[in-house]
Amino acid sequence: MDDQPRVVVLTGAGISAESGISTFRDAGGLWEGHDVMEVASPEGWAKNPELVLDFYNQRRRQLREVEPNAAHRALVRLEPHYETVIITQNVDDLHERAGSSRIIHLHGELKKVRSTADPGLVYHWEGDLHLGDTCEKGSQLRPHIVWFGEDVPEMYRAAEEMARADYVLIIGTSMQVYPAAGLVAYAPRDARIWYIDPKPRINYELQMMPHVTVVEARATEGVPRVVDELIAMAGKE
């Protein structure tokens, strides 16, 4: 299997938009009514942990009401033909539920929580999280989410995967939030890249790559199309 060509996929909020999860920077986005720094920063957590927990409890509850869409499902079809790795900025579990096998969550996961005293203590969590819910060492639990200003520990693994890509798909991300938005710079120069987004924003790193095809389309339309193209190419190799 190791000699299969390799597809690395970077997804953002746009891939889950048609499942009913709002994106961050489009009108009517997730942050509406909330200052981002209030709900997604260490400072916000220190100031009002209850508000932060409530915000993520709502996000976690919403997962029960949404389903993977045709774009999440199309990516699973790559697996018999390509070594496929998904690097997602999303904290939802829609890639998992669609059936993808290798997923790196750059910005954490709604269905995990961790100890505030020992970041190595991470737990699976389905319901609401409250003040007073503690880890086995007795410290408050917090959402397992990378907040603004925090390290992105999975960046190293993601960059390594990107460095070995033959093909790269970038789906539904505004390419504004670093370090994730800079990951494409780790791809080999000869990698072929597709960027699928109805409002693509070509950042500096993408501009520097020589083989970029921009597909100006919604994920449920553009992703199955590009996946079909990749599968047809695999058949000819």
Quick one: 23 or 135, whose CB is closer to ligand APR?
23
Residue whose C-beta lies closest to ligand APR: 14
Decide if residue 54 touches ligand APR (CB under 6 A): no
Decide if residue 34 touches ligand APR (CB under 6 A): no
Question: If you compute the radius of gyration of the chain from its CA atoms, what whole number of angstroms results?
Answer: 18
| Tally of CA atoms within 13 A in the half-sphere of 99 that contains its CB | 11
Using CB under 6 A, which of 117, 121, 159, 177 touches ligand APR?
A: 177
From the candidates 81, 95, 107, 144, give the one annotated as an active-site residue.
Answer: 107
Active site residue 105: no
Shortest approach of ligand APR to residue 14 CB, angstroms? Answer: 2
Decide if residue 107 touches ligand APR (CB under 6 A): yes
Of 52-60, 122-130, 192-200, 229-237, which part binds ligand APR (CB under 6 A)?
Answer: 192-200
Residues 81-100 touching ligand APR, rule: CB under 6 A, are 89
Contact characters 108-147, ligand APR, x per CB under 6 A: ----------------------------------------
Closest to 214 (Cα-Cα) out of 226, 198, 196, 230: 196
The structure tokens 């579990």 sit at 93
Rounded CA separation 51/60 (Å): 14
Contact characters 3-32, ligand APR, x per CB under 6 A: ---------xxx--xx----xxxx------
Contact characters 143-172, ligand APR, x per CB under 6 A: -----------------------------x
Which residues sit at the interface with ligand APR, rule CB under 6 A?
12-14, 17-18, 23-26, 89, 107, 172-174, 176-177, 197-199, 218-219
